[in-house]
Structure 1
Amino acid sequence: MPFVTVGAENLAPIDLYYEDHGSGQPVVLIHGFPFNGATWEKQAGPLLQAGYRTITYDRRGFGNSAQPATGYDYDTFSADLDVLLTELNLRDVILVGHSMGTGEVTRYLGTYGSERISRAVLLAPLAPFLLKTADNPEGVEQSLFDGFKQAIVDDRFAFLTSFCDNFFNYDQNKGKLVSEEAYRAHWEIGARGSAIGTLQCVDAWLTDFRGDLPRIDVPVLIVQGDQDRVLPFPATGQRLQPMLNGSQLVTLKGAPHGIPWTNATEVNKAIMEFIGQPAMART
Structure 2
Amino acid sequence: MPYYDSPVDGTRLHYVDHGPADGPVAVFAASAYVGHEMWEYQILPLAEAGYRCVALDRRGHGRSESPWSGFDLDTLADDLHGLLDHLDLREATLIGHSIGTGEVLRCLTRHGTARVARLALVAGVSPGLVRSPGTPDGVDPEAVRADDEVFRRDRAAWFVSGVDAFFAAHLPGNEPSPEYVRYLIGLCMATGPRAATGIRGVVAALDMAAELPAVNVPVLVVHGTDDTSAPLARTGERVARLVPDSTLKVYERGGHGLFVTHAERLTADLRAFIDAGAARDGAPAGAKADAWTP
The question of whether the paired residues in 1 share the 8 Å contact of 2:168 and 2:253 is answered with no
Counterparts of 2:174 and 2:19 in 1: how far apart (Å)?
32
Moved more, 219-228 or 202-211: 202-211
Q: 193, 204, 223: which is aligned to 1:195?
A: 193
TM-score, normalization by structure 2? 0.89
Q: Deviations over 1:220-253 (max 9, x none)?
A: 0000101001111111001111101120000001
Q: 180, 183, 186: which is aligned to 1:185?
A: 183
- The one-letter code of the counterpart of 2:280 is A
Counterparts of 2:241 and 2:8 in 1: how far apart (Å)?
40
Q: Deviations over 1:58-108 (max 9, x none)?
A: 111111011111111111100101111111111111101111111111111
Quickly say closer, same or farther: Cα 1:145–1:272, change in 2 above 3 A: same
Q: How far apart are 1:160 and its partner, in Å?
A: 1.8
Q: How many pairs were matched up?
A: 277
TM-score, normalization by structure 1? 0.92
- The one-letter code of the counterpart of 1:130 is L
- The one-letter code of the counterpart of 2:224 is G
Aligned residue runs from structure 1 range 59-98, under 5 A: 59-98=58-97
Question: Hey, what does 2:122 align to over in structure 1?
Answer: 123
Say if 2:251 is the partner of 1:255. Answer: no
Quickly say closer, same or farther: Cα 1:82–1:7, change in 2 above 3 A: closer
- RMSD of the alignment, in Å? 1.9
Q: Deviations over 1:183-226 (max 9, x none)?
A: 11110000000211111212211211123212211100000101
Q: Deviations over 1:132-183 (max 9, x none)?
A: 246633311112211221112111111222333322123446x854111111
- The one-letter code of the counterpart of 2:13 is L
Q: How far apart are 1:54 and its partner, in Å?
A: 0.8
Counterparts of 1:86 and 1:64 in 2: how far apart (Å)?
20
Identity %, equivalent residues: 33
Unmatched 5+ stretches in structure 2: 282-294
Quickly say closer, same or farther: Cα 1:135–1:81, change in 2 above 3 A: closer
Q: Deviations over 1:25-69 (max 9, x none)?
A: 211111101111011100011211221111111111111011111
Moved more, 199-208 or 84-93: 199-208
Say if 2:215 is the partner of 1:216. Answer: yes
Counterparts of 2:237 and 2:8 in 1: how far apart (Å)?
39
The question of whether the paired residues in 1 share the 8 Å contact of 2:123 and 2:230 is answered with yes
Q: How far apart are 1:276 and its partner, in Å?
A: 1.3
The question of whether the paired residues in 2 share the 8 Å contact of 1:37 and 1:56 is answered with yes
Question: Hey, what does 1:279 align to over in structure 2?
Answer: 280
Counterparts of 1:135 and 1:69 in 2: how far apart (Å)?
28
The question of whether the paired residues in 1 share the 8 Å contact of 2:134 and 2:209 is answered with no
Quickly say closer, same or farther: Cα 1:136–1:54, change in 2 above 3 A: closer
- The one-letter code of the counterpart of 1:3 is Y
Look up the SS of the partner of 1:170 in the other structure: coil
- The one-letter code of the counterpart of 1:204 is V
Question: Hey, what does 2:110 align to over in structure 1?
Answer: 111
Aligned residue runs from structure 1 range 215-234, under 5 A: 215-234=214-233
Question: Hey, what does 2:12 align to over in structure 1?
Answer: 15
The question of whether the paired residues in 2 share the 8 Å contact of 1:109 and 1:212 is answered with no
Counterparts of 2:206 and 2:107 in 1: how far apart (Å)?
13
- The one-letter code of the counterpart of 2:199 is C
Question: Hey, what does 1:102 align to over in structure 2?
Answer: 101
Question: Hey, what does 2:3 align to over in structure 1?
Answer: 3
Question: Hey, what does 2:42 align to over in structure 1?
Answer: 43
